[in-house]
Amino acid sequence: MLNLSFYRICFYTFLSLFIQSCNSSAQTLPPVTTWEGNLMGVRFILKVNKDSSTKETIATFDSPDQNALGFPVSKLVITNDSLLAYSSILKADFKGKFNSNKLQLAGKWKQLGKEYELIFKRVPNKKDSGRPQTPKAPFPYSEERVIYFNNDKTIQYGATLTIPPLVKNAPTVILITGSGPEDRDGTVYGHKPFWVIADHLSRNGIAVLRVDDRGVGESTGNVSYATSADFANDVLVGVEYLKSRRDLHLGKIGLIGHSEGGIIAPIAANQSKEISFIISLAGVGIKGSELMKKQFKDVNALRGFDKSEEERANSFTDMMIQLASLDREGNSLQVAFKNSISKWLKDQPDSFLVKMNFKRTIDDDNIKYNIGSFSWPWMRYLIKYDPSVVLSTIQIPFLALNGGKDVQVNAKENLDGFDKYLRQAGNKDYKTVLLPNLNHFFQNAKTGKIHEYGEIEETISPEVLAIITKWIVERQ
């Protein structure tokens, strides 16, 4: 299975398309091209574009069938007959050669010691339809691009602060993205949901700070080994920045987190008395291990296995999640992974291992590939996440919204989790809302399936915007 899934399987979320990369050395193609191929049974896309502000050539990898979108290409080299694209986040690269009319790009994808043949075909670029909800000037509020730093100056944060006029002690929110590198607007499929949210809130008297994730846009920092706890620290740096802006006379500070952001927000709130309220959008109220098991099982159900093969695939997932949950580190953990994977592989028929994209012989590369995926710090942290520990201490106002057509984070079971643990906390002001017709991105959807995200013109339901605005205003 394509390893992109291991970077997104828990949370399908908005991703940045504005990542700085190297300029091509001999550009012979149009400045904007889209290449689509098939990698181990799933669609794989390479997008080459021009940054609208810097005019530099940039690129991203997408795996839309897994909703793994917008992984930045950190090194891009295009010559007259070849292309090299390397992603430091994925620790993977593609090297290929163009055919004579430059409509095909054939080469190899390399990642974590494994190599795959990959042929890209150039496809027409989809026009940006200019999503109807994308804000348009003039704005009835001030908009300030800001830069701030963590305490030891090792990370710079680039952000936009929108401030309503003539509002004394305006309530203020920090928007928190889900997993993966995202720009401050949460740009994906031409949608800019965080900008839409910020615009609506600031038109209604609420200040908003929206921030580029680590390694994206004007923010620095390495995300390779960062976990939700590290991202919670990033949020706390934002809180301190807002507190330092005494010139703005801002009021109470709250957090709005989407998907993994719904985990990050309460983690941050448990570490700061300056946070006054939380809104979780498509957040997680069950154990990370349980969420991941369900999502892997959903993926396995789509892979064309018979019932026996599906059970074998799920047993592998369960084993890897259990291993990742162990309180072991370093060599001890690696040995546990290696021994368990080796034993599991020996017990499987060759025909099934071929379908699972395992080699017929057990080799170190195959084992290292899977160990690397499940021993990754971000993955292990999410697997070990226990909402009972985090949410049962939250006593500030809390609003949780989940979409009934969300196929990635089940609305009912996760809202039930929020209700259970916030009640245990003795929280006197919390509310959970199931919105039946909305998907993971809070768009009105027919099925909620991933392929619809880019097809829907609506960026975010006006009902959601109204609910969160009213809820915040009522608590000031």
Walk along the chain (476 residues) in steps of 10 and give the mean pLDDT of each run.
38 27 43 85 83 72 72 87 87 90 91 84 72 94 97 96 92 93 86 96 97 91 90 98 94 97 97 97 96 86 87 94 91 91 91 77 67 88 96 97 94 97 97 97 92 90 98 95
Kindly report the number of other CB atoms within 10 A of residue 124's CB atom.
7
Looking at the structure, do residues 396 and 337 belong to the same domain, yes or no? no
- CATH number of 87's domain: 2.40.128
Looking at the structure, do residues 398 and 466 belong to the same domain, yes or no? yes
Rounded-to-integer distance, Cα 416 and Cα 23, Å: 49
Looking at the structure, do residues 362 and 351 belong to the same domain, yes or no? yes
Rounded-to-integer distance, Cα 172 and Cα 169, Å: 9
Looking at the structure, do residues 276 and 337 belong to the same domain, yes or no? no
Looking at the structure, do residues 366 and 437 belong to the same domain, yes or no? no
Q: How far apart are the first and last CA of the chain?
A: 49
With respect to residue 403, please indicate whether it lies within any of the assigned structural domains.
Answer: yes
In terms of residue numbers, what domain contains 78?
A: 5-123
User: Residue 26: what pLDDT?
Assistant: 37
User: Residue 129: what pLDDT?
Assistant: 53
Looking at the structure, do residues 249 and 196 belong to the same domain, yes or no? yes
With respect to residue 133, please indicate whether it lies within any of the assigned structural domains.
Answer: no
With respect to residue 308, please indicate whether it lies within any of the assigned structural domains.
Answer: yes
User: Residue 195: what pLDDT?
Assistant: 97
- Please say which residue of 349, 383, 417 terminates a domain: 383
With respect to residue 177, please indicate whether it lies within any of the assigned structural domains.
Answer: yes
Residue 466, classed as helix, strand or coil, is: helix
Looking at the structure, do residues 248 and 297 belong to the same domain, yes or no? no
- Please say which residue of 383, 401, 417 terminates a domain: 383
Do residues 44 and 96 make contact, with C-beta atoms less than 8 angstroms apart? Answer: no
User: Residue 66: what pLDDT?
Assistant: 65
Looking at the structure, do residues 282 and 412 belong to the same domain, yes or no? yes
Looking at the structure, do residues 344 and 414 belong to the same domain, yes or no? no
* Beta strands, E only, 379-459: 398-403, 430-435
Quote the number of domains for the chain: 3
- Please say which residue of 63, 88, 123 terminates a domain: 123
With respect to residue 190, please indicate whether it lies within any of the assigned structural domains.
Answer: yes
